[in-house]
Structures are given as C-alpha cells and as structure tokens.
Amino acid sequence: MPLKRFDRPIILGMVGDSASGKTTLAAGVARILGEDRVATICTDDYHRYSRSERAENGLSALDPRANYIDILEQDLARLRQGKPILKPVYSHDTGDLVAPEYIAPKPYIIVEGLLGYTTRAMRDCYDVKTYLEPDEDLRVDWKIQRDTAKRGYTREAVLASLEKRAADSPAFIHPQRIFADIVIQFRRPEGQTAESGARLDVRHILRPTLPHPNLAPLVDAGAKNELSLDLARDHDGKPVDVLGIAGSITDQRAAALQNLLWDLIPEASHLRANVGEFTNAENEQVVSHPLALTQLLIAYHMVKAALGIHAI
C-alpha cells in the first residue's frame, strides 16, 4: 500500500434503514478501492436473536437491545487496531445465528448496517461516516424488490414488516443520521414516479466534519440543473453544503467531475482503472452517474484518510 500513511485500516461507516441501498453502495466503493484490499462487515451479523426468537420476544432487529452492541463496539475497535475478529454471522436466508467467520484486517474496512453509530465508542472508530436516506417511497420499492427476490418473503409480508417497524426506524435508525459526515439522498426526479435506477437524482448533505473537495469550479461552469452546490440549513438548523447530481447529467460533465476528484488525489491514480467497472458490471443494465459519482466521492474520502490528509 504505497499510498497508506497509517498502518491501521481506514474505516468507512454506511448506516441507513433497511433497503436504503447500503449493500449496493458499499460494493461500488469496494470496487474502486480494490476488492482485495477491502473487508466489508455487515452489522446485521451482530443480531442477538434468531428470527424465531425475535418473533417470540417481540423485539425488532432494529432495536439495539436485539443486537450485541457491546461486542460490535469491541470488534470495531479491534479492526481499527488492525487486528482480526471472529465476526458472528446472521443468515438472512434462514433467520438463524450460525458459525462465526474469521475476518482478517485489510487496508480498508466498510461497516454497513442498521446500527453503526449507536454508541460513542462505535462512532469513534470511523474515518468516514455516511448515512443513506433515500426518499421513503423509493426505499419501500427497493425493500419489496429485494426481500421478495432475495430473502424469500411475499410482498404482503414485506409490507407487514414495514408496518411493524414503523415505530422502530424513528426510534433507533434515524437518530444516527446526525453523526454522519455525509447524508446521501437518492430520489426520483421531480414528477417521475416509476422507478428507474439510471434516472435517479442524488443529493449529498455535506457536513463540515470532513474536508470536502472544492467542487465550486465545476459547478460554476456547469448547467445548474445537472450539478449544484448550495449552502443550506439541515433539518436541525445546522449549516451544510448540499451537492446535487441529477440523473440527467451528461457523460461529459460526469467525466469532468471524476477527473476533478482524481486530480485531487494524484497518489491514488492507480485506482482509476477500477472506476471503469461501474459501466461493465454485469448486474447493472444501465449506468447511473449519480451512483457512480457517489461511490467515487466516498472512495475519495477514504483515500484522503489513508493518506493522512484528514488528520492534518
């Protein structure tokens, strides 16, 4: 790792509600950083109870009491020290707790899940903290799509589960948003209703807790409806930058934004080869510039952290 200034792994947090796009985004960031240099941990594996036990005790998987939060805290601290962990494993297929998995330290670690920022001890472990907050109707569509296709639920069961969890998300998931350096909001463009991944817009709410790249030159020169950067107040009244990337952004402008980011991290130029994989990924029928650029912006922060720039 010629570009690593630190011996310890650089840790990315990716927190958000169920089906908010964490796995997809994490996989894209890992592709850029190099899959062999990244370990991805899912906090769902720290569930304390099997699905049937939760049905009995009435606890939602979103509830910290239904998770080994203290063990997760310790494992994150171990990973940050570059030590291996024996991560528990929750099988989404069967709903059972199964044999744990040995995770060797890697230069980059992505921690994605429902409960990544619950305690101070956990939050202190991250170099970059993101929070995924897609529009709620989009998230519901994503959840139905995934849970019926990959986890064997019926559409009715998914809707019932959403209903049952209605109180848990505001109680346990949403309060973590405030700890994120970047809140990422995928949304359908104004007036569009049917889902179309390629057409989604994205907004990044950038908190001044990370030194974000200076995008002003690009934005000033560009069509405001493709790329925007605006000073705004967040829900809580705090000042933030809001970066907007429209699904309709042209290939040229997307490439210009990519170039700008790479120019800011010349030490990582050997990673540029990995970005092409967005367009070649077999499971993606359409290229999404907002998704690709979001992945790249996060990877940019990880590389900067590895270089020790954020620490200066």
- 37 interacts with a copy of itself by CB under 8 A: no
- 308 interacts with a copy of itself by CB under 8 A: no
- 124 interacts with a copy of itself by CB under 8 A: no
Among positions 3, 64, 68, 157, the unique one binding a copy of itself when judged by CB under 8 A? 68
Contact range with a copy of itself by CB under 8 A, out of 26-34, 76-84, 112-120, 264-272: 76-84
Nearer Cβ to a copy of itself, position 77 or 157?
Answer: 77
- 99 interacts with a copy of itself by CB under 8 A: yes
Nearer Cβ to a copy of itself, position 24 or 118?
Answer: 118
Min. distance of Cβ 91 from a copy of itself in angstroms? 10
Nearer Cβ to a copy of itself, position 96 or 284?
Answer: 96
Cβ neighbours, 10 Å, residue 199: 16
Min. distance of Cβ 24 from a copy of itself in angstroms? 28
Nearer Cβ to a copy of itself, position 29 or 122?
Answer: 122
Among positions 98, 160, 167, 273, the unique one binding a copy of itself when judged by CB under 8 A? 98
Residues 27 and 11: their CA atoms lie apart, in Å, by 14
The interaxial angle of helices 136-149 and 155-164, nearest 10 deg, is 130
- 51 interacts with a copy of itself by CB under 8 A: no
Among positions 21, 88, 113, 222, the unique one binding a copy of itself when judged by CB under 8 A? 88
Nearer Cβ to a copy of itself, position 99 or 149?
Answer: 99
